[in-house]
Structure 1
Amino acid sequence: MSGAPGRGILAGLRLTSLRLRLVVVFALVALTAAVSASGIAYWLNREAVLTRTQDAALDDFRREMQNRAAALPLRPTQAELQNAAEQMADGGDYSVVLIGERDAGKPITGVSDRDDFTLEDVPQSLRDAVDDRLDVGAGNPAPYHLYWQRIDRGGAPYLVGGSRIVGGGPTGYLLKSLGQEREDLASLGWSLAIATLLALIGSALLAQAAATTVLKPVHRLGEAARRLGEGKLDTRLRVSGTDELAELARTFNKTAESLETKVADMSAREESSRRFVADMSHELRTPLTALTAVTEVLEDEADSLDPMIAPAVNLVVSETRRLYDLVENLMEVTRFDAGTARLVLDTVDVADQVTACIDARAWLDAVELDAERGIMARLDPRRLDVILANLIGNALKHGGSPVRVSVRPGDTELLIEVRDHGPGIPEEVLPHVFDRFYKASASRPRSEGSGLGLSIAMENAHIHGGDITAANSPDGDGAVFVLRLPHDGEAAADCEAAESGGPGDGGNGTGRDTGSRGPDAAHGEEGPR
């Protein structure tokens, strides 16, 4: 159980880069402060310890030199020097070397411990300083002074000091071990290092707590933004406090409220527009049906009409037929927009379906079919006919013969390719070929088609779970439309039924066939070329 908080902290560090940056910044600040404080404390304590030990040893040595070395004769014997050095060493925690002169130019030495300290252990620079006679003046009352130096011998620290008796007498040197002080300073260093480590750990914990406090509102804001992006426009944040994060939450709530209002308004307008188009199309069908019947009679009698009247009759016939197709296409688009379009699946031979589509529109002489019989797929035959009629009709109208239709089975999908031999599709038009009412040329806004054929074909492909792509032939000879449909549309039909709440064809009666009423239907849609 004790490892759980640690794992939580590590998980938080791995998952949140901002959290990691906060912890690192806190740790660096704490580390810098702790190292600086520890370094200063160590340096101050080191100087204090060494200075105290050094001053105590040098003061004691100075007194011993005044009390014992100064009491020796001007020309002491070897024994007197030796005895004085031993007495001085017994009085202090250090070794002593005394140097005198038996006769002029004949030095003698007294050593408290010859195995521990001899004259050879004294640095030459210290000896030169001790022997150097200074001029006596207002700023220098004595010709000789006490000098000291710290040395390292055998990896251990020592204090070496020396002085000379003023007015004549021996010169003395001491050797003081600083090993105990080094151990004390090492213990102090370890203590400061442990304190620094604890400070670092504490700063990491504080950073984690601070990051949690700061990042929880940020995390909630991120979750709210994600839900808002998923379409849950009623998402709001709970606001508490008066800091910057609270102000950010208030701004988010205001933005979400404004967005919800605007989206609701747009949805209402879109629904109103869709209902208007549907109602208008439905209301137009009745008079259009009557007009179509009349125009069919007029078309049959066109040959017997006055030559001056016949062109007007033919214009009325073609425009009435075009208007009827437009109304039918608008109703189909409205069903797609409302989500009421449904699949009526059947297992069909794809080659037979393509042949039937071409034959019904009298395109056998203009279309080359490359399709083997026996390629079975579970599709909606009526919607497949609509797709093929629009793709082939568009190729014949804007691409030119011969139009080649190829059917190829894949591992998971069915591919139907419609290729023409026309000028191709301009590159700037390609991204818009399936847009509704798109006209490639602004100079011809009116045409025989409604501009909805390819859009309806794409919608019918999507409802099957498929897609249509448009491109130019690599050899520059015409355009290529590729229809991709799954072999089994059952999954797509189930998905559509689940999303809408049940199966069925909604408002799209299966007996009505947009683009399948005859050779002139559905292939007159204005394409983008």
Structure 2
Amino acid sequence: MVLAFVAVAMVTATAASAAGYAAARASLVEETQRRAVETVRDQVTRLAPETAYPPDQQALDRLRTSLGPDAMVTFEGLTSASGSTLGLITDDLRARVARDDGFAVQRVADDAGPRLVLGTPVLLTDVDGSRRDSGVDVYVVHDLAGTEAQLDRWTRVVVLTIAGALPLAVALALVVSRSVLRPVQRLAHSATELAEGNLGVRLTPSGRDELADLVATFNDTAAALERSVGELRRREAEARRFVADVSHELRTPIMALTSIIEVLRADAAGRSDQDLELATMAVDRTRRLARLAEDLLELSRLDAGVGDLRPEHVDVVHVVTGTVRTRGWADVAVAAAGPVPARVDVRRVDLVVANLVGNALRHGAPPVVVEVRAEPDHVVVGVTDHGPGLPAGTDPELLFGRFAKGDPSRTSSDGSGLGLAIARVNARLHGGDVTAHDDPGGGARFELRLPRRPEVSADREDDREDDDAPA
């Protein structure tokens, strides 16, 4: 806006100054030419009666001397001339003087500057009042240096006027932009704050123009959004608290139920095959229910922000190998070129790897390969199975949703649908992430990428050191 305002102001000032200069220049040149013509006409009118006709050379010399330093008088074959500018009298001007009875005017220029060349025949008045050509032609060269100097002064005035208009235009543009654009900037800044989550931002409207109406609309929108988001957050908090409470309350009875059903299964071993099958199915379903309660409780803790990292310097290969060995996965192989030292939370890395490998065993096909490798700034743990790969047409990001099913046609599975969501939350808690894609060699591949030195706030580190210090 400032640039546009300055541009319009400068164009307007330049156009107005140029138009004024052109008009003044034309008027000055015309006035100078008129005065020169009148001066020569008066001189010729005054000197013509004093000249004898036909004139001789001496008469022509006297007439030329009376006309000025740069003049020439001709009569048939006689010529009287003086001055260094007579070469400016062109043949065209001579022809016009010979053809017409009035003044012939021509503006020319030489190295010394512009000149005005005047030519006129000397007319005689008879007794009856008629006028006739005497045969004497007069040429006068008038110097326009004074006029040119005046035009140069005007040019400097015009240039200075335009140059002086520039800072004035800038100052006016800044004043206008401050009054017009500053409210828009405040509105844009407030909209940015609103987008970043500051729902309490408000503006004070001023005036009664369209901007004031826009500010009022913004405030109403922000207030409505704050109420809506507040209600959603309240309901979300209640839902999370409900899930956490339910999960916590279910843990003890589910554990007790699991123990009881396992006893019943042991007792059913001496009964019929049908009783043993039903008892085994009840144990599997109860264990799945227990895992679901544990997963829900873990997610509720992470959602509540109580999940805290406790990083330590370890060999990630050793952590992954321990995860596989502890769970007794015989169809899982760990591949690593050597130790991969990093600073991670061992419990959370174990949980992530266990969820990824468990997902590969449930939805893929053995063997499952867990590759651990080190990059300059990251640790990468890749879990690859030899199954059919990711479901066709499925966005890999959807697999990390809560209660997501890799194959919608499967109404049930051994998993809770929360494993990948928990894995991603724990990875991002480290500052890393989990991604999924089809492996070029077949099967699905899930990659855990963690920074080798995750950032941990100094106060948390000090707190852990205090907790670990001997009493």
Spell out the pairing of 1:72-111 with structure 2 (5 A cutoff).
72-89=51-68, 95-101=70-76, 107-111=77-81
CA contact (8 A) 2:70 2:83 kept: no
Q: Does 1:50 align with 2:29?
A: yes
Q: Residue deviations 1:485-505, cap 9 Å, x none? A: 34456x44x47959xx9779x
Shift of residue 434, structure 1, vs aligned partner: 1.8
Residue 388 of structure 2 aligns with an amino acid whose one-letter code is P
Distance 1:297 1:50, change over 3 A: same
User: Is contact 2:93–2:106 with CA below 8 Å preserved after alignment?
Assistant: yes
Which residue matches 1:385?
350
Matching residue of 1:124: 91
SS at 1:304 equivalent:
coil
Distance across 2 between alignment mates of 1:176 and 1:351? 105
The 1:350/1:159 distance shift into structure 2, 3 A limit, reads closer
Query: Do residues 182 (structure 1) and 148 (structure 2) align?
Result: yes
Q: Give the 3-state SS of the residue equivalent to 1:42 in structure 2.
A: helix
Q: How far off its partner does 1:126 sit? A: 2.0
Alignment of 1:75-474 (within 5 A): 75-89=54-68, 95-101=70-76, 107-111=77-81, 114-116=82-84, 118=86, 121-132=88-99, 144-164=101-121, 165=123, 166-169=131-134, 170-364=136-330, 366-371=331-336, 376-426=341-391, 428-429=393-394, 430-474=396-440
Contact 1:234 1:260 in 2 (8 A): yes
Q: Which runs of 5+ in 2 are unaligned?
A: 124-130, 466-471
% same residue: 36
CA-CA distance at 1:121 after TM superposition:
4.0
The 3 A distance-change label for structure 1 pair 443 and 418 is closer
Q: Distance in 2 between matches of 1:161 and 1:117?
A: 12
Once the two structures are TM-superposed, the CA of residue 263 in structure 1 deviates from its matched residue by: 1.0
State the shift of 1:80 in Å. Answer: 1.7
The structural deviation recorded for 1:62 is 1.5
* From 482, 486, 489, the counterpart of 2:447: 482
Distance 1:35 1:467 in 2: 62
Alpha-carbon distance in structure 1 between the residues aligned to 2:320 and 2:84:
114
Measured at CA, do residues 323 and 173 of structure 1 come closer, stay the same or move farther in structure 2, by a change above 3 Å? Answer: same
Q: Name the SS for the 1:471 alignment partner.
A: strand
Distance 1:488 1:50 in 2: 85
Counterpart residue number, 2:127: none
SS of alignment partner, residue 273 of structure 2 = coil
TM-score when normalising by structure 1 = 0.79
Instruction: Return the match for 1:68 from 47, 54, 57.
Output: 47
Could you tell me how far apart the structure 2 residues matched to 1:460 and 1:434 are? Answer: 12
Query: Any stretches of 5+ residues in structure 1 without a counterpart?
Result: 1-21, 102-106, 134-143, 505-529
- The Cα shift of 1:347 comes to 4.9
From the superposition, tell whether residues 421 and 48 of structure 1 become closer, same or farther in structure 2 (CA, over 3 Å).
Answer: same
Partner SS state of residue 16, structure 2: helix
Deviation at 1:359, TM superposition (A): 3.0
Give the superposition deviation at 1:352: 4.3
- Please state how far the C-alpha of 1:447 moved relative to its aligned partner: 2.1
Q: Secondary structure at the match of 1:162?
A: strand
Displacement after TM superposition at 1:296 (Å): 0.8
For residue 46 of structure 1, report the CA deviation from its aligned partner. Answer: 1.9
Give the partner amino acid of 2:73.
L
Give CA-to-partner distance per residue, 1:228-281, whole Å, 9 cap, x none.
Answer: 222211111121112222222222212211211111111001001001111111
Alpha-carbon separation, structure 2, partners of 1:211 and 1:263:
35
- The amino acid of 1:44's aligned partner reads A
Question: What is the number of residues matched between the two proteins?
Answer: 455
- When normalised by structure 2's length, the TM-score is 0.88
Query: Structure 1 residue 450: deviation in Å?
Result: 0.9
Which one-letter code corresponds to 2:385 in the other structure? D
* Deviation for aligned residue 1:326: 0.9
SS in 1 for 2:14: helix
8 Å CA contact retained: 2:71, 2:83: no
Query: Once the two structures are superposed, what CA deviation does each residue of 1:12-31 show, in whole Å capped at 9, x if it has no partner?
Result: xxxxxxxxxx2332232222
Q: SS where residue 341 of structure 1 aligns? A: coil
Deviation at 1:155, TM superposition (A): 4.5
Distance 2:57 2:359 in 1: 129
Q: Cα deviation per residue 1:435-461 (whole Å; 9 max; x = unaligned)? A: 211113332222222101121122222
Q: 2:258, 2:287 within 8 Å by CA — same for their partners in 1?
A: yes
Rounded Cα–Cα distance in structure 2 between residues aligned with 1:64 and 1:376: 113
Kindly state the Cα deviation for residue 409 of structure 1 after the two structures are TM-superposed.
3.8
For residues 76 and 373 of structure 1, the distance between their equivalents in structure 2, rounded to whole angstroms, comes to: 126
Q: Displacement of 1:196 after TM fit?
A: 1.4
Report which structure shows greater RCO (CA 8 Å, sep ≥6): 1
Tell me: CA distance 1:435–1:197, structure 2 relative to 1, closer, same or farther (3 Å).
Answer: same
| Distance change (3 Å), C-alpha of 1:436 and 1:168 | closer
CA-CA distance at 1:427 after TM superposition: 5.2
Q: Which amino acid aligns with 1:74?
A: Y
Distance 2:436 2:346 in 1: 22
